[in-house]
C-alpha cells in the first residue's frame, strides 16, 4: 500500500515536472494590414514562455469570407483549430460551438470595457475575449486641405464639397489619378459598417432596434443612402463598389485620395516609410449627417476557444496571453489597434507612438453596434440583405427609398414571428 | 478579293488568336516579376525583373506544402480511378451483358453531375467518416468526376481495339483479368497517359470541394491557397505574390499539356471534359 | 447524319469471341461473371460518392437540418420549397424556394450566363477551329498557344483577370483607353452593368480552346475531297461552309455545346473569386453554397441544390431530345 502511494506521489511529481506537456495549437485569423506579422511576434513570445507551439492559419481579409469558413469548420467539429479570432458581431451566431470563458477570465473581466464584454456574452456565456476594439476614422490629407485652404469637414456635405473641389483642381493640375473619397463599398460585412454609419449619423437608426424592431425603412436612412450614392462616380471612383478595406487603403496610400474612411490599423501603415502620404495626413472622427451626429460603427476582434479543440487548457492560456494588458499595449504600439482596457488610452508611450489611439477613446465609447445582438443567429443574413440593398443603391439600381422598402420586406420575411 | 488582302486578313486573325490566348498569362508573368510600387505602373513589355515575389511565395508560409498536397491528391485520384476504370472499361466494352447501355448512360450522367448537388450529402459523409480536413476527403470526393470520365474514355478506346487481339487468349482459356493485364494494358499506355493527364488536371483545378472539406493552411490545395492568399504585405492586395503563385502552379500544367497536346485532343473528343 | 454517337458503337467483332460454339455457354457465363466482378468496385465507389450523397441532399431538402445540427434533422415535408405562414392577424405570406425572388434571380443569372457564354464560345471556337484547320506556317505554334488558357486553373484565370480588370491599375482599362474605346476607367467587376460581362469574358477566354479543339476534331473528319469537288464546281467558299462543312461538323458542335452548357450551368469557382457576393452574378451554385454554409440554412441550401440538379437534368434531356443526340453508346 505504501509502495503504491509512493509510486503515486512519484508519478504526480513527474507529471508536474513536465511543464504541462508542450502541445501544438492552431489559431485562425484574417490577414489585414500588419495583423499577421504582429500576431507572429506575439506568438513567438508565447511559445518561448510556455513551450507550446502555435500554428497560424491565415484567412482572407474579408470578414464575410472568414465567417463562412469558420462556421463550416465549427459545424464539421474540426479539432484542428483551437483558437479563432472572431469579429465582434459573430458571438451570438457561433456561441454554441465555443467554450465558455467566464470562469477562466473571471479575474480579467472587470478590467475591460463593459460594453465589449457584454457584446461577447450570450445567454450568460462569455464566448470570446477581446483582443482589441475598433472604431473607424476619417483620414484626410493635411497637405491638400492646406493647399486649397479647406477645413477638415464636420458634415458629409462639407466632405463631399471639399473632396470634389480638391479632386477636380488636382486633376486639372495633371494629377489624373486623384480621387476625392474612398471607403468600403463592396458587398460584404464592411459595407454594413459604412452604411450603418451613414444612416445612423443622419438619425436613421440602427437597421434593427435593440428590441428587435425593423427600423431601417425611414426617410432619414433613405436620405443618407441617396447622399452616399451621389458620391460614386463623382468624388469616389466607380470601383469603390468593389473596395474592401485593403483596396481603399491601396488608393489612399499611393497618394490618390483626399479622404478615406478606414479603421485605425491604416494609421501606422499610412505613416510608414514606403507610404506616399507619410507626414501628409491626419485623422478625425467621421462627419455627421444633416440631421444627426457623427456615428462610428463598433468593430473589434476577439479570441474564442473552439469546443472541439483537444487542448482547451493551453488554448485558454493562449487567449489569456494575447488579450493581456501587456499584449494589448504592444499591439497598440505597433499597429494602432485600439485596446479594450480603458487605462491604456492614457498610456504616454502609446500616445507618443500612435497618437490616434489616445484620441480615440471617446469615439470607441460612443460607437454604434451593428444589430447582431437582437437578430441573434440570423444576423449574417440580415447584414447580407442590408449590404446588398446599400450596394445596389450605390450602384444606381433603384432609388434608396424603394430599396429600403424592399429591404424591410425581406427582413420581415427573415424575422417571421421573431429572431432566432 | 485579291489574295494578298485575304492573306493579310488571315494572318491578322491568327495574330489576334495568339494574343488573345497568350496575353493574360504573359501579363501575369510580367506582374509577378514586379515588386513594390512598380506593380502600379502599367507596362506592356518587361522592364522590371525581380524574383522577390517568387522567393516570398516559396519561402514564406506553406505554399510549397499546398503544391505537395495538390500533387498527392491529384496523383492518388488518378491512380485509383485508372485502376478501377481499366477493368470496368473492359467489362463495358468487350463483354456483352444486359443493362450495359443503361449503365453507360448512368456513368455519363454522373460525370455531368453538378458538384453542388452532392455537396451537402458529401459533407455529412466526410464528417461522419472522420475525414474532415484531411486529404483523404478530397481523394474520396474527386472520384465523382475522375472515375466516370476515365471509365467513359477508356471504354470508347477499348471498343476500337480489334477482336483478334484477345481471341487467342480466350481460346487458351486465359481469365479475363489476365487478358486485361497481359493483353490490353500494354496496348493502352497512350490512352492511359492521356486520360490520366486529363483527370490529373481536373483534380488539380478543383475548388468547391477543396474549399469545403479542408481547413488548415497546410492541408489546403493550390486553388484554395491562391483564392485565399492574402496578407503578409503592406501594399494592399498582394497582386505580385498571387501572380507568382499562379505562374508557379500553371507552368507545369502548360508544359504537360503542350507535350501531350495531340493525345489530349483525342482524349477530349472521346470524353468531352472540362479542364 | 443527324444522330450523334459519342464514342464508337460496340463492334460486333468484339462480341464475336463469345459466340464460338464449343465453349460458348461456359465461356460467356465466366465472362459475364468477371464483368460484374470488374464493375462492382467502380459501382460501389460511384454509389458512395455520387448516389448516396445525392439522396442525402434530396432528403435534407425535406427536413429542417441546420449546419450545426445535421444529425438531428426532422422531416418537414415541402416547407423549404413551399410554405404559407399565417401571421394570425388575417395576413400571411408565402415562403420557400418557389417564392424566393433571390433564388429566381440566381436561376436567371445562371441561364443568362450559360446561354451567352456558350454561344460566344461556340462561334469563337468555330472561328479558331477553322483557322487551325487551314494549312499555314506556324500552325503547330498557334495550336499550342490556343491550349494555354485551357491548361490554366479556373481560380488562377479568375485572379489573373481580376488583376487585369482592376479599376485603378488594370491593364484592360489602359488598353481600351489608349485605343479610345472608353474615356474613363471602368470598374469591371463592381459595376452592375459590367459584372456579368466580366465573368463571361473570363469564361470565354478560358473555355474557347476547349470548344475549338472539339470542333477541330470534327473538321478533321471531313474528307478533303469534299472541298476539292466544291472547288472544281466553282462554289464560293462561304457557300461551301454553310452548305457542306457546317452540316458535317454539326454533330461535333452539338456535343461540344452540351458539355460546355452543363459545365456553365453549375459554375461556382469563377464567380466566387471574381465577383464575390454580387447579386448581379450570383448563380444557382453560389446561392446554394451560401445557404448551406454561410447562413445556417442547410436544409434550404439542400433544396436549392436539389432544384439545381433537376433544372440541369431537365435541360439536358430537353437538349438531347431536340438535338436528337444519341448518348446511349449505340445499341
- Chain B touched by C177 (CB under 8 Å): no
Burial of A115 (0-12, 13-18, 19+ CB in 10 A): middle
Q: Which of A121, A57, A65 is nearest to A85 (CA)?
A: A57
Contact A384 C277 (CB under 8 A): yes
At A340, list the grid cell: 479594450
Looking at the partner chain, which of A61, A78, A247 has a beta carbon nearest the beta carbon of B231? A61
Interface partners of chain B (CB pairs < 8 Å, 3 or more) are: A, C
In this complex, how many residue pairs, one in chain B and one in chain C, have their CB atoms less than 8 Å apart?
Answer: 316
Q: Classify residue C109: in a domain, yes or no.
A: yes
Asked if A241 lies within 8 A of C95 by C-beta distance, the reply is no
CB pair distance less than 8 Å for C190 and A239:
yes
- Count Cα neighbours of B72 within 13 Å in the Cβ-side half-sphere: 17
Domain of C42 in residue numbering reads as 18-57
- Is there a contact between A28 and A83 (Cβ–Cβ < 8 Å)? yes
- CA quadruple C88, C91, C94, C95: dihedral sign: negative
- DSSP-derived secondary structure letter, B76: H
Residue C9 domain-assigned (yes or no): no
Nearest neighbour of B216 by CB, restricted to A57, A61, A249? A57
Quick check: C256 and C243 in contact, CB under 8 A? no
Alpha-carbon gap, residue A212 to A418, rounded angstroms: 8
Q: Flag whether residue C167 sits within 8 Å of chain B, measured between CB atoms.
A: no
Query: C191: domain CATH number?
Result: 1.10.3720.10
Please judge whether A71 and C67 are an interchain contact, meaning their C-beta atoms are less than 8 angstroms apart. Answer: yes
C14·B93 Cβ contact <8 A: yes
Residue-wise burial string across B4-36, b where 16 or more C-beta atoms lie within 10 A, e elsewhere: eeeeeeeeeebeebbebbebbbebbebbbbbbe
Sheet containing strand A281-284, edge to edge, reads A179-182, A257-262, A137-141, A281-284
| CB within 8 Å: A239 and C167 | yes
Domains of chain A by residue range: 16-134+299-366, 137-297+372-415
Answer whether B115 touches A (CB < 8 Å): no
Q: Residue B271 — very low, low, confident or very high, per pLDDT cuts 50/70/90?
A: low
Q: Over 60: is that where the pLDDT of B98 sits? A: yes
Between CA C13 and CA C11 the distance in angstroms is 5
Q: Which chains touch C (3 or more CB pairs under 8 A)?
A: A, B
Cell numbers at A88, concatenated: 465582434
- Cα–Cα dist C303/C103, whole Å: 11
Cα angle A10-A12-A18, degrees, rounded to a multiple of 5: 105
- Determine whether the interchain pair C268/B124 forms a contact, defined as Cβ–Cβ distance below 8 Å: no
How many angstroms separate the CA atoms of C68 and A377, rounded? 11
Q: What is the pLDDT of residue C106?
A: 95
pTM of this prediction exceeds 0.95: no
Phi, psi of C4 (to 5 degrees): -110, 135
Q: What is the pLDDT of residues B137-187, one digit of tens each?
A: 999 999 999 999 999 888 888 888 888 888 888 888 888 888 888 888 888
In a domain, C287, yes or no: yes
Query: Which of B37, B215, B235 comes nearest A73 by C-beta?
Result: B215
Cell numbers for C104: 429566381
Is C70's CB within 8 Å of B124's CB? yes
Whether the CB-CB separation of C43 and B85 falls below 8 Å is answered with: no
DSSP code of residue A151: P
Buried/exposed C160-176: b ≥16 CB within 10 Å, e otherwise: bbbbbbbbbbbbbbeee
Answer yes or no: do C31 and C138 share one domain: no
Contact A62 C187 (CB under 8 A): no
Indicate if the alpha-carbon torsion angle C84, C87, C89, C93 is positive or negative.
negative
With H, G, I as helix, E, B as strand and everything else as coil, classify residue B96: coil
Whether C51 and C111 share a structural domain:
no
Q: Which of residues 29-68 of B touch A (CB under 8 A)?
A: 36-37, 40, 61
Q: Does C326 touch chain A (CB under 8 A)?
A: no
How far apart CA C248 and CA C270 sit, in angstroms, is 34
Distances (CA, A) of B147 to B97, C57, C119: 21, 21, 29
Residue A61 has its nearest CB partner, among B123, B212, B230, at B230
A239 and C185: CB-CB below 8 Å?
yes
* Interface contact C163, partner A, CB < 8 A: no
C-chain CB neighbours of A67 within 8 Å are 294
User: Are C23 and C136 members of one domain?
Assistant: no
Q: State how far residue B186 is from chain A, nearest Cα, in angstroms.
A: 45
C303 domain residue, yes or no: yes
Compute the distance between CA of residue A225 and CA of residue A205 in angstroms, rounded to an integer: 13
CA–CA gap between residue B203 and residue B213 (Å, rounded): 14
DSSP string computed for A329-390: HHHHHHH-PBPSSGGGGG-HHHHHH-HHHHHTHHHHHHPBPPTHHHHGGGHHHHHHHHHHHH
Contact B231 A32 (CB under 8 A): yes
Pairwise CA distance, residues C219 & B218, whole Å: 46
Read off the pLDDT of each residue in B222-242 and give the average, rounded to a whole number: 74
C190: chain A residues, CB-CB within 8 Å? 185-186, 238-243, 395
Per-residue H/E/C for C54-122: HHHHHHHCCECCECCECCCCCECCCCCCCEEEECCCCCEEEECHHHCHHHHHHHHHHHHHHHHHHHHHH
Chains that touch A (3 or more CB pairs under 8 A): B, C
pLDDT tens digits for range C95-117: 889 999 899 999 999 999 999 99
CB contact under 8 A, B226 and C46: no
pLDDT of residue A2: 47
Question: C196 with C304, same domain?
Answer: yes
C-alpha cell at A367: 460607437
Residue B275 has pLDDT above 80, yes or no: no
**Residue B250 CB neighbours (<10 A):** 21
- Cell output for A76: 464539421
Q: What is the pLDDT of residue A18?
A: 47
| Cα of C153 to nearest chain A Cα, Å | 20
Same domain? C50 vs C166: no
Interface of A with C (CB under 8 A): 62, 64-65, 67-68, 71-72, 74-75, 93, 96-97, 177, 185-188, 237-243, 250-251, 256, 377, 380-381, 384, 387-388, 391-392, 395-397, 413, 416-417
Give yes or no for C36 touching B (CB within 8 A): yes
Strand pairing partners for A302? A86, A130
- Which CATH architecture best describes the domain A137-297+372-415? 3-Layer(aba) Sandwich (3.40)
Strand partners, A82: none
Contact criterion met (CB < 8 Å) for A417 and C95: no
Q: What is the mean pLDDT of chain B?
A: 85
Residue of A nearest to B234 (CA): A33
Domains of chain B: 3-52 (no CATH), 53-271 (1.10.3720.10)
The CATH code of domain A16-134+299-366 reads: 3.40.190.10
Q: Which candidate in A41, A65, A78, A244 is best for mutational testing of the B interface (most B CBs within 10 A)?
A: A78
Give me the residue from A32, A61, A80 closest to B215, CB to CB.
A80
Instruction: Answer whether C168 sits within 8 Å of A251, measured CB to CB.
Output: yes
Please tell me whether residues C34 and C140 are part of one structural domain: no
Q: Do the Cβ atoms of B159 and C14 come within 8 Å? A: yes
Chain A contacts of B123, Cβ < 8 Å? Answer: 76
**Count of CB atoms situated within 10 Å of the CB of B262:** 11
- Cα–Cα distance for residue pair A170/A144, rounded to 1 Å: 9
**Mean pLDDT of the region B237-259:** 88
- Are A413 and C68 inside 8 Å of each other by CB? no
Per residue in B22-72, pLDDT (tens digit) is 999 999 999 999 877 777 778 888 887 888 889 888 887 788 999 999 999
Cell numbers of A116, please?
465589449
Tell me which chain A residues have a C-beta less than 8 angstroms from the C-beta of C187: 237-242
CA A126/CA C170 separation, integer angstroms: 46
Question: What are the distances in angstroms from CA B208 to CA A95, B216, C200?
Answer: 27, 15, 19
pLDDT of residue B108: 84
Residue A32 near residue A245 (C-beta atoms within 8 A): yes
User: Cβ B217–A274 below 8 Å, yes or no?
Assistant: no
Nearest to C187 among A75, A242, A387 (CB): A242
Distance from CA of B53 to the nearest CA of C (A): 15
What is the number of domains present in chain C? 2
Q: How far apart are CA C290 and CA C277, in angstroms?
A: 9
pLDDT in tens, B69-86: 999 999 999 999 999 999
C-chain residue closest to A74, CA distance? C68
C185 close to A (CB below 8 A):
yes
pLDDT tens, A33-42?
A: 788 888 999 9
User: What pLDDT is attached to residue C11?
Assistant: 44
* Per-position pLDDT tens, chain A of length 420: 444 545 555 545 444 444 557 899 999 988 777 888 889 999 999 999 999 999 988 887 778 888 888 988 888 888 889 999 999 999 999 998 999 999 999 999 999 999 899 899 999 999 999 999 999 999 999 999 999 999 999 999 999 999 999 999 999 998 888 999 999 999 999 999 999 999 999 999 999 999 999 999 999 999 999 999 999 999 999 889 989 888 898 899 889 999 999 999 999 989 988 789 999 999 999 999 988 899 999 999 999 999 999 999 999 999 999 999 999 999 999 999 999 999 999 999 999 999 999 999 889 988 999 999 999 888 989 999 999 999 999 999 889 999 999 999 889 888 887 888
From chain C, the residues in CB contact with B88 under 8 A are 38-39, 41-42
Is C169 close to B117, i.e. CB distance below 8 A? no
Spans of chain C, pLDDT less than 50: 1-22, 328-331
Identify the CA nearest to C297 among candidates A420, A211, A291: A420
Residues A87 and A189: beta-carbon distance below 8 Å: yes
Q: Which of A61, A254, A274 sits opposite B40 (nearest CB)?
A: A254
Question: In the β-sheet with A53-59, what is the strand arrangement from edge to edge?
Answer: A53-59, A24-30, A83-87, A299-305, A129-134
* CB within 8 Å: A239 and C295: no
Q: What is the model's pLDDT at position C183?
A: 84
Q: Does residue A139 contact residue A259 with C-beta atoms inside 8 Å?
A: yes
Interface with chain A: mutation pick from B63, B214, B219, B236, highest number of A CBs within 10 Å: B236
Lowest-confidence range among B51-60, B127-136, B218-227, C102-111? Answer: B51-60
Domains A16-134+299-366 and A137-297+372-415 share a fold: yes
The model's pLDDT over C4-41, given as tens digits with 9 standing for 90+, comes to 344 444 444 444 444 444 455 777 788 888 888 899 99
Q: Do C10 and B275 touch (CB under 8 A)?
A: no
pLDDT score of B188 = 86
Amino acid at each position: 500500500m505504501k509502495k503504491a502511494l509512493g509510486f503515486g506521489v512519484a508519478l504526480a511529481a513527474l507529471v508536474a515536472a513536465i511543464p504541462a506537456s508542450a502541445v501544438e495549437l492552431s489559431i485562425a485569423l484574417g490577414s489585414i494590414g500588419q495583423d499577421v506579422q504582429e500576431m507572429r511576434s506575439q506568438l513567438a513570445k508565447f511559445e518561448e514562455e510556455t513551450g507550446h507551439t502555435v500554428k497560424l492559419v491565415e484567412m482572407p481579409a474579408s470578414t464575410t469570407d472568414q465567417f463562412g469558413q469558420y462556421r463550416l469548420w465549427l459545424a464539421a467539429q474540426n479539432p484542428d483549430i483551437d483558437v479563432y479570432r472572431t469579429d465582434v458581431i459573430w458571438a451570438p451566431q457561433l456561441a454554441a460551438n465555443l467554450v465558455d470563458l467566464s470562469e477562466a477570465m473571471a479575474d480579467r473581466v472587470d478590467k475591460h470595457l463593459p460594453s465589449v464584454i457584454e457584446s461577447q456574452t450570450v445567454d450568460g456565456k462569455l464566448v470570446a475575449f477581446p483582443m482589441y476594439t475598433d472604431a473607424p476614422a476619417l483620414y484626410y490629407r493635411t497637405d491638400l486641405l492646406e493647399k486649397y485652404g479647406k477645413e477638415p469637414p464636420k458634415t458629409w456635405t462639407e466632405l463631399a464639397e471639399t473632396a470634389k473641389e480638391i479632386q477636380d483642381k488636382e486633376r486639372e493640375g495633371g494629377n489624373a489619378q486623384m480621387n476625392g473619397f474612398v471607403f468600403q463599398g463592396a458587398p460584404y460585412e464592411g459595407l454594413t459598417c459604412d452604411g450603418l454609419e451613414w444612416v445612423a449619423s443622419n438619425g436613421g437608426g440602427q437597421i434593427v432596434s435593440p428590441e428587435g424592431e425593423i427600423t431601417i425603412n425611414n426617410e432619414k436612412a433613405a436620405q443618407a443612402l441617396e447622399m452616399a450614392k451621389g458620391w460614386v462616380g463623382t468624388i469616389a471612383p466607380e470601383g469603390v463598389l468593389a473596395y474592401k478595406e485593403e483596396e481603399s487603403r491601396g488608393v489612399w496610400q499611393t497618394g490618390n485620395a483626399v479622404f478615406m474612411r478606414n479603421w485605425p490599423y491604416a494609421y501606422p501603415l499610412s505613416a510608414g516609410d514606403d507610404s506616399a502620404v507619410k507626414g501628409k495626413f491626419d485623422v478625425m472622427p467621421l462627419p455627421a449627417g444633416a440631421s444627426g451626429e457623427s456615428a462610428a460603427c463598433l468593430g473589434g476582434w476577439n479570441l474564442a476557444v473552439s469546443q472541439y479543440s483537444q487542448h482547451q487548457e493551453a488554448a485558454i492560456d493562449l487567449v489569456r496571453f494575447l488579450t493581456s494588458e501587456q499584449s494589448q499595449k504592444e499591439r497598440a504600439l505597433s499597429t494602432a489597434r485600439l485596446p479594450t482596457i480603458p487605462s491604456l488610452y492614457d498610456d504616454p508611450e502609446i500616445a507618443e507612438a500612435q497618437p490616434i489611439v489616445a484620441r480615440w477613446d471617446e469615439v470607441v465609447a460612443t460607437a454604434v453596434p451593428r444589430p447582431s445582438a437582437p437578430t441573434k443567429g440570423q444576423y449574417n443574413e440580415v447584414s447580407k440583405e442590408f449590404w446588398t440593398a446599400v450596394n445596389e443603391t450605390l450602384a444606381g439600381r433603384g432609388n434608396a427609398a424603394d430599396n429600403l422598402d424592399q429591404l424591410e420586406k425581406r427582413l420581415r420575411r427573415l424575422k417571421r414571428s421573431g429572431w432566432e | 478579293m485579291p489574295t494578298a488582302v485575304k492573306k493579310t486578313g488571315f494572318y491578322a486573325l491568327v495574330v489576334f488568336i495568339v494574343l488573345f490566348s497568350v496575353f493574360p498569362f504573359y501579363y501575369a508573368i510580367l506582374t509577378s516579376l514586379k515588386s513594390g510600387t512598380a506593380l502600379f505602373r502599367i507596362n506592356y513589355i518587361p522592364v522590371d525583373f525581380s524574383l522577390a515575389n517568387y522567393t516570398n511565395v516559396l519561402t514564406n508560409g506553406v505554399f510549397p506544402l499546398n503544391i505537395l498536397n495538390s500533387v498527392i491528391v491529384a496523383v492518388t485520384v488518378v491512380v485509383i480511378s485508372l485502376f478501377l476504370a481499366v477493368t470496368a472499361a473492359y467489362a463495358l466494352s468487350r463483354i456483352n451483358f444486359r443493362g450495359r447501355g443503361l449503365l453507360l448512360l448512368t456513368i455519363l450522367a454522373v460525370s455531368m453531375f453538378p458538384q453542388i448537388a452532392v455537396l451537402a450529402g458529401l459533407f455529412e459523409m466526410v464528417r461522419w467518416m472522420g475525414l474532415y480536413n484531411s486529404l483523404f476527403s478530397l481523394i474520396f470526393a474527386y472520384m465523382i468526376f475522375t472515375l466516370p470520365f476515365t471509365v467513359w474514355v477508356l471504354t470508347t478506346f477499348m471498343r476500337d481495339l480489334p477482336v483478334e487481339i484477345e481471341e487467342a487468349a480466350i481460346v487458351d482459356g486465359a481469365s479475363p483479368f489476365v487478358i486485361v493485364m497481359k493483353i490490353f494494358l500494354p496496348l493502352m499506355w497512350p490512352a492511359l497517359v492521356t486520360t490520366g493527364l486529363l483527370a490529373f488536371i481536373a483534380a488539380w483545378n478543383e475548388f468547391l470541394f477543396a474549399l469545403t472539406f479542408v481547413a488548415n493552411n497546410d492541408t489546403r490545395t493550390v486553388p484554395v491557397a491562391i483564392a485565399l492568399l492574402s496578407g503578409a504585405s503592406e501594399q494592399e492586395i498582394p497582386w505580385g505574390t498571387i501572380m507568382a503563385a499562379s505562374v508557379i502552379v500553371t507552368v507545369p500544367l502548360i508544359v504537360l499539356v503542350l507535350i501531350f497536346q495531340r493525345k489530349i485532343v483525342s482524349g477530349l473528343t472521346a470524353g468531352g471534359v472540362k479542364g | 447524319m443527324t444522330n450523334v454517337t459519342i464514342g464508337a458503337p460496340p463492334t460486333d467483332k468484339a462480341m464475336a469471341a463469345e459466340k464460338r460454339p464449343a465453349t460458348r455457354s461456359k465461356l460467356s457465363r465466366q465472362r459475364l461473371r468477371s464483368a460484374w466482378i470488374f464493375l462492382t468496385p467502380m459501382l460501389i465507389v460511384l454509389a458512395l460518392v455520387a448516389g448516396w450523397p445525392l439522396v442525402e441532399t434530396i432528403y435534407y431538402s425535406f427536413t429542417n437540418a441546420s449546419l450545426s445540427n445535421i444529425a438531428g434533422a426532422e422531416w418537414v415535408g415541402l416547407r423549404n420549397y413551399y410554405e404559407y405562414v399565417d401571421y394570425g392577424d388575417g395576413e400571411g405570406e408565402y415562403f420557400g424556394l418557389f417564392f424566393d425572388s433571390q433564388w429566381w434571380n440566381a436561376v436567371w443569372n445562371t441561364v443568362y450566363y450559360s446561354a451567352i457564354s456558350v454561344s460566344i464560345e461556340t462561334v469563337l471556337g468555330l472561328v479558331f477551329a477553322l483557322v487551325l484547320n487551314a494549312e499555314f506556317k506556324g500552325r503547330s505554334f498557334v495550336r499550342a498557344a490556343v491550349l494555354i488558357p485551357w491548361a490554366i486553373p479556373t481560380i488562377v484565370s479568375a485572379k489573373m483577370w481580376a488583376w487585369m480588370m482592376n479599376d485603378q491599375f488594370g491593364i484592360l482599362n489602359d488598353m481600351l483607353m489608349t485605343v479610345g474605346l472608353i474615356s474613363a476607367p471602368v470598374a469591371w467587376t463592381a459595376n452592375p452593368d459590367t459584372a456579368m460581362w466580366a465573368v463571361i469574358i473570363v469564361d470565354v477566354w478560358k473555355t474557347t480552346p476547349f470548344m475549338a479543339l472539339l470542333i477541330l476534331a470534327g473538321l478533321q473528319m471531313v474528307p478533303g475531297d469534299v472541298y476539292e469537288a466544291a472547288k472544281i464546281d466553282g462554289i464560293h467558299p462561304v457557300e461551301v461552309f454553310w452548305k457542306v462543312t457546317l452540316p458535317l461538323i454539326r454533330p461535333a458542335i452539338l456535343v461540344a455545346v452540351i458539355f460546355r452548357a452543363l459545365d456553365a450551368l453549375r459554375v461556382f469557382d469563377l464567380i466566387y473569386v471574381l465577383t464575390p457576393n454580387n447579386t448581379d452574378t450570383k448563380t444557382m451554385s453560389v446561392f446554394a453554397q451560401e445557404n448551406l454554409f454561410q447562413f445556417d440554412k442547410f436544409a434550404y441550401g439542400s433544396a436549392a441544390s436539389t432544384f439545381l440538379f433537376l433544372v440541369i437534368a431537365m435541360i439536358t434531356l430537353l437538349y438531347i431530345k431536340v438535338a436528337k443526340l444519341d448518348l446511349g453508346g449505340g445499341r
